[in-house]
Amino acid sequence: MKKIGVDPSGVRIMGPKQLHYNLKLEGLKPVQANILKQDMLSIGGEAAVARGAASCSVAFSDALVSGTLRQFENLIDKLKGQSPGLGEAAEAMRRAIDNRALSVYELKSKKSALKIGPATLIMGILNVTPDSFSDGGRFMDPGMALERALEMSSDGADWIDIGGESTRPGAEPVDAAEETRRVVPVIEALASRGLTVSIDTTKSSVAEAAIDAGASIVNDVSALSLDPAMAGVVARGGVPLILMHMRGTPKTMQLDTSYGDLMSEVYGYLHSRIEYAAEMGIGPDSIIVDLATLNC
């Protein structure tokens, strides 16, 4: 609108009408689902609920709510005075919309700062393992690993992710001492050259050694679920944390791949792990959610 010369006051009025959102709410009581639907329809939006919600013949209903930013702003205002459950739903929708609107975000760390938003950041993956899916066995020598990491940095990688244990499906576990031996020399060499380094590990002792060696991000594919001490290490280290969805371990994860609702179940799991991390002293503004495929 600005490019075609619309008056600034018109941009402010019409802008929220151009931004459209589709949000899903889960586990509403039928009466809540009905109020939500009626309120959204009354302001020109849409809301889809379970067939039995209107007759209260179902115990719970999910809701798919669709509308413009302006309509959601009106809906949120209407819901705030409703039952406690809908007041909480209104706040959740507000947070989702506000987070989606963030254009620039600074990932907080005691050791480095990464701005997310102005441009896509690139993470270079370097596995110092004999059995990883992509580069296993190629960079076991610390000198070769350093050379490869510097090459990726020169090619545009914003940070280098170092892994000493393969997370490919069916991979055998590696003990903490061996994993530490593999990653620490490489991390020290990279950090001394000013590169931002993340450590890909599920073990708290490896993460702690990596942070001491200069790693400034912890990448835990188990989302803090395999080592109860990991959250404390991350919190004390003051470094950002990457969380990912995984069932079981890399060796067993392919044995449990059935989902009733893939997106909802993965989202729910990650949401619960973010809450857990926050309870353990890790700030929400220091958490990255990995929704990509498993790094192998």
Whether 117 and 88 share a structural domain: no
End-to-end CA distance of the chain: 44
Residue 142: helix, strand or coil by DSSP?
A: helix
pLDDT in 10s for each residue of the chain, 296 residues: 989 999 999 999 998 898 899 999 999 999 999 999 999 999 999 999 999 999 999 999 999 999 999 999 999 999 987 767 899 999 999 999 988 877 777 776 766 677 887 778 899 999 998 766 566 567 778 888 999 999 999 999 999 999 999 887 777 889 999 999 999 999 999 999 999 999 999 999 999 999 999 999 999 999 999 999 999 999 999 999 999 998 877 777 777 888 888 888 888 899 999 999 999 999 888 899 987 644 43
Burial 3-27 (b: 16+ CB within 10 A, else e): eeeeeeeeeeeeeeeeeebebebee
Q: List residues bridging with 288 in a β-sheet.
A: 242
Name the strands in the sheet holding 241-244, side by side, starting at the edge strand that comes first in the sequence: 123-127, 159-163, 197-200, 217-220, 241-244, 287-290
Residue 231 belongs to domain with CATH number = 3.20.20.20
- Residues 210 and 260: beta-carbon distance below 8 Å: no
Q: Name the one residue in this structure whose structure tokens are 């929400």.
A: 284
Q: Which domain holds residue 81?
A: 8-101
Strand extents, DSSP E, 6-104: 20-28, 46-49, 61-68
* 8-state DSSP, 171: P
Query: What's the predicted TM-score (pTM) here?
Result: 0.80
Residue 2, domain member (yes or no): no
Residue 86 belongs to domain with CATH number = 3.30.1370
Residue 1, domain member (yes or no): no
Q: Among 75, 101, 127, identify where a domain stops.
A: 101
Q: Among 54, 84, 101, identify where a domain stops.
A: 101
The count of domains in the chain is 2
Whether 168 and 134 share a structural domain: yes
